[in-house]
Chains A and B, each alone.
Chain A
Amino acid sequence: MPATRSLQLMAPLSGVLIPLDQVPDPVFSNKIVGDGICIDPTSHILCAPVAGVVSELQSSKHAITITHDSGAQVLLHVGLDTVSLAGEGFSALVCKDQHVEAGQPLIEFDADHIALHARSLMTIVLVITGEPFTVSTVDELVECGQPLLSLTTSVQSSETLPNRGQEVCSGPIILPNTCGLHARPAAILVQAAKGFEADIKLHRQDASGNAKSLVSIMALQTTQGDAVHLSAIGADAQQAIEQLAQLIADGCGEAITSARKPAEQIDPPTKVAAPLKDVLRGVCASSGSAFGHVVQIAQNTLDISESALEPHIERKVLEEALAQARDALQRLQDQATGDAQAGIFRAHQELLQDPSLVEEALTLIAKGKSAAFSWNRVTQAIATTFRDSGDALLAERALDLMDVGQRVLRLIMGVPDSVLTLPDQAILIAHQLTPSQTATLDKSKVLGFATVEGGATSHVAILARAAGVPAICGLPMHVLTLATGTPVLLDADRGELHIEPDQSHVEKSRAKHQQQLLTYQQDLKDSALPACTLDGHCFEVSANVASLQETIQAIELGGEGVGLLRSEFLYLDRASSPDLAEQASTYSAIASALGTDRNLIVRTLDVGGDKPLAYVPMNMETNPFLGMRGIRLCLARPQLLREQFRAILSSTSLTRMHIMLPMVSQLSELRDARQMLHEEAARIGLQHLPKLGIMIEVPSAALMADLFAPEVDFFSIGTNDLTQYTLAMDREHPLLASQADSFHPAVLRLIAGTVNAAHAHGKWVGVCGALASETLAVPLLLGLGVDELSVSVPLIPAIKSAIRKAELGRCEILAQQILKMESAEQVRSALQAHLQAYPEIPTALEN
């Protein structure tokens, strides 16, 4: 019979106790690694909570594991996201495998440095071997060395020891998990292993770890495709091996529990082509359809030899490869087609300059490993940490790290940069395309993209939309087994990939595609014509822009002005705030391009926790969408706003200048900003002030539009934020995004109310949100009385054409009917029915 004994853990630090589930980091609060408690420290030396052996000490010295003689393991993790400090601010006072006494100092840290550079100092104390415990203190404050947790450990007396028996081993198991046995699958394996009496080990190459310890499994740093095996000794060893081997082969629950992915994805990818269904479903990332032939973009697996003879040669190889990679990234930046792409490669350059990456690789080289092996191991390990951090932003950077890692690896191994030679009519299929891959593709031959990973915001989606080719993301894994050359029909509008479609289906799609092209060409030809309805009412169609270049393009495509200049994007890639002269010259260039016959509506800096600017530092917020955004931030930093006003005012004579304030929710915000504008105008003796308006994107502003209207010159409705705030749904939420629909009657009622209030005071209303760029919405918005539509540049011709085909009288009747509807679906079908009643109106150009 196992006896139980109690084990007392001391507080490793003084500070404030916080229950684990209140720690703002899901890795800890969800108790994935284990249960325990958190201390927000007021002392700066971490002491051993119990006597034992230092079984794990992270190289970044922010986390340490102590194993007690009873087998109980305690993980101490100083701060949140402190791994990113790479050891800076931490010094270890003990070494791995050292025996420590309870209360012995383990790690000293610079609390101020961590407070200024990491997310938090909250220190986590976890019992990772899962012994039940009770908290020994009721106070909120603890002193270092005071009793903290009381554990119940089981002790097996010698006579009850089971017959140890023979060691039982499994055959090799190939890990199907994309990130290897990272936190979640490892936790499931540990849980299952604990159900057996036997001692169980997991082996990977020469290394092995206790299968009942999460940390030792994660320390094996397994990756997808690794061959691992299990061994066990004990009475139920055979049973344990059988069950656990099956569990690992099945992905440790990972594919099954992943709610986001469709059911087809449970099958791990196999080299043997599985029988495929005729249609694979995913999510539309860029609309349109195309018929072409599959080109699989396989991730090149490079054959890396692990050891090398001369560390100094390997060192040189690595350093040269890093230098070459930096040059190559610089060239890519210089050639980049847009700011976004350049920004991505600049970020890659910065990743390469990260000292911890290079240092860790050099350490491995010094141990006799090859440059390629060392670099690959280090980048893979950090990318895995990023992915599993529970932090969406870090996770996004994992792909970038892998990308830049591969770039250097190819240089080390002398593998030429694989510029893919594509056949014509290629439909590219990949697990995920990296920015480097997308930048080197011959876009003239690509008809479409289909990927397993990624969503509407992925690189593929961005590239596809920019190039105007259809794309589907989120396809099931076995799309990767399609043979290159297989004919497929990519119907992105429906999110479907048809395999070997029959001829009639292809013809239908081709005809639709042709029709779209014809319509587009016709719209383009007519783009300079005014946008007047069949019954003779004219509307202004202007453009949403973020640069001079886009402004010029908008004018060429028939844009009648700029309805939204996103001023925060003019200086996105800057570390320091642009000075007045620089801002003024940017505005004057855009104003001169438009001239005095067109409107320019400059939206003042719209930044905040959700869209920060490098030169506008701000504190982390728990809910940035409800935090210091838009006008709130500008009023809190009046210098920023005053300087922007000054710069805008210097160009007022060049165009019909308008200033628009974002995120206004209170009248006082408008009044304060207007006051500032007047003061700045008075300073330079300006008589004619530009028009001042506000964005309507918060329900409070829409509901009080009758009070705002007398004090503004115009309103412009930002439908994206208005929808998200009205429905309380994040438009990028993976499950809610499809419901966060601007066609929801609640949003439409707010628009209607805003328009009525504005017109009662003789003010005009524009719509600059994404709803204005949807052809389907045109009759509705016109019917609601909107005066101006500000749309994304490429869609100007299509929207103008949609207005020309509408009849205002009918639109008004339709809008009144729609305002009484129940759901966005009803609204959409009513609009579709309306458009079908005018067969000459193309419905195909929704983007």
Chain B
Amino acid sequence: MLRTIQNAFWKALTPDLIVDQEREGSTRASGLSQAMMAALGGTRNIASQQRVALTRIRIQLHDASCLDEAALRASGVRGVMVLNDNIIHVLVGRG
């Protein structure tokens, strides 16, 4: 029982969306197809990627000029949101 309440507290106090240090930098993690990778400027252009906000993959690029936005939209994703600081949200839906 103690366990349950303690868990509830830590769950409430721990933000879920802290950047996963170990995975940052890894580009092999799931979610991105080859077409998406190519549109993003290739594996080497990806500084980090992370599942966020239930429906999105947040990608930080080294160089945003290598991004082919049209190709990315055509690569089967639901939506693309290009933000400042080389950051892109790719909307992939839940799951």
A binds B: yes
The chain A residues found within 8 Å of chain B, CB to CB, are 15-16, 24, 40-44, 79-80, 111-112, 114-122, 140-141, 338-340, 343-344, 347, 350, 393-394, 396-397, 456-457, 459, 461-462, 465, 566, 569, 572, 610-614, 617-620, 622, 637, 639, 732
Judge if B53 is at the interface, Cβ distance under 8 Å. Answer: yes
Judge if B70 is at the interface, Cβ distance under 8 Å. Answer: no
| A614 CB, nearest partner CB in chain B, Å | 5
Does more than half of chain A's interface fall in helix, strand or loop, or is it mixed?
mixed
Q: Which of B4, B8, B12, B20 is the one whose CB lies under 8 Å from A618?
A: B20
A41, A115, A343, A620 interface centre (most CB from chain B within 10 Å): A115
Does more than half of chain B's interface fall in helix, strand or loop, or is it mixed?
mixed
A24 / chain B contacts, CB cutoff of 8 Å: 54, 94
Judge if B11 is at the interface, Cβ distance under 8 Å. Answer: yes
Q: Is the CB of A347 within 8 A of B54?
A: no
Query: Given the complex of chains A and B, what is the CA–CA distance between A114 and B54 in angstroms?
Result: 12
The chain B residues found within 8 Å of chain A, CB to CB, are 1-20, 22, 51-56, 58, 78-81, 83-84, 87, 89, 91, 93-95
| A620 CB, nearest partner CB in chain B, Å | 4
Residue of chain A at shortest CB distance from B55: A40
B84 / chain A contacts, CB cutoff of 8 Å: 112
Residue of chain A at shortest CB distance from B20: A617
Q: Which of B2, B10, B16, B79 is the one whose CB lies under 8 Å from A42?
A: B79
Beyond A112-B58, A622-B94, is A465–B1 a contact (Cβ under 8 Å)? yes
Query: Given the complex of chains A and B, what is the CA–CA distance between A397 and B18 in angstroms?
Result: 21
Q: Which of B9, B52, B78, B93 is the one whose CB lies under 8 Å from A347?
A: B9
A461 / chain B contacts, CB cutoff of 8 Å: 1
B6, B8, B22, B58 interface centre (most CB from chain A within 10 Å): B6
Query: Given the complex of chains A and B, what is the CA–CA distance between A312 and B42 in angstroms?
Result: 60
A347 / chain B contacts, CB cutoff of 8 Å: 9, 12-13
Beyond A118-B53, A350-B13, A614-B13, is A15–B7 a contact (Cβ under 8 Å)? no
Q: Is the CB of A610 within 8 A of B7?
A: yes
Q: Is the CB of B79 within 8 A of A15?
A: yes
When A and B form their complex, which 8 residue pairs have the shortest distance between CB atoms, in order from nearest? A617-B18, A42-B81, A115-B53, A120-B54, A611-B7, A620-B16, A115-B52, A457-B4
Q: Is the CB of B11 within 8 A of A393?
A: yes
- Beyond A115-B56, A339-B6, A637-B22, 10 additional contacts (C-beta under 8 Å) are A41-B81, A43-B81, A112-B89, A115-B53, A117-B17, A340-B2, A393-B12, A457-B4, A572-B10, A614-B14
| A454 CB, nearest partner CB in chain B, Å | 11
Beyond A112-B83, A115-B52, A140-B78, is A611–B3 a contact (Cβ under 8 Å)? yes
A457 / chain B contacts, CB cutoff of 8 Å: 1, 4-5, 8
Q: Which of B10, B15, B91 is the one whose CB lies under 8 Å from A613?
A: B10
Q: Which of A111, A456, A462, A612 is the one whose CB lies under 8 Å from B14?
A: A612
Beyond A112-B83, A397-B12, is A459–B17 a contact (Cβ under 8 Å)? no
Beyond A41-B81, A462-B1, A612-B10, is A617–B91 a contact (Cβ under 8 Å)? no
Query: Given the complex of chains A and B, what is the CA–CA distance between A121 and B53 in angstroms?
Result: 6
Q: Is the CB of B5 within 8 A of A459?
A: yes
A114 / chain B contacts, CB cutoff of 8 Å: 53
Q: Which of B13, B79, B87, B95 is the one whose CB lies under 8 Å from A40?
A: B79
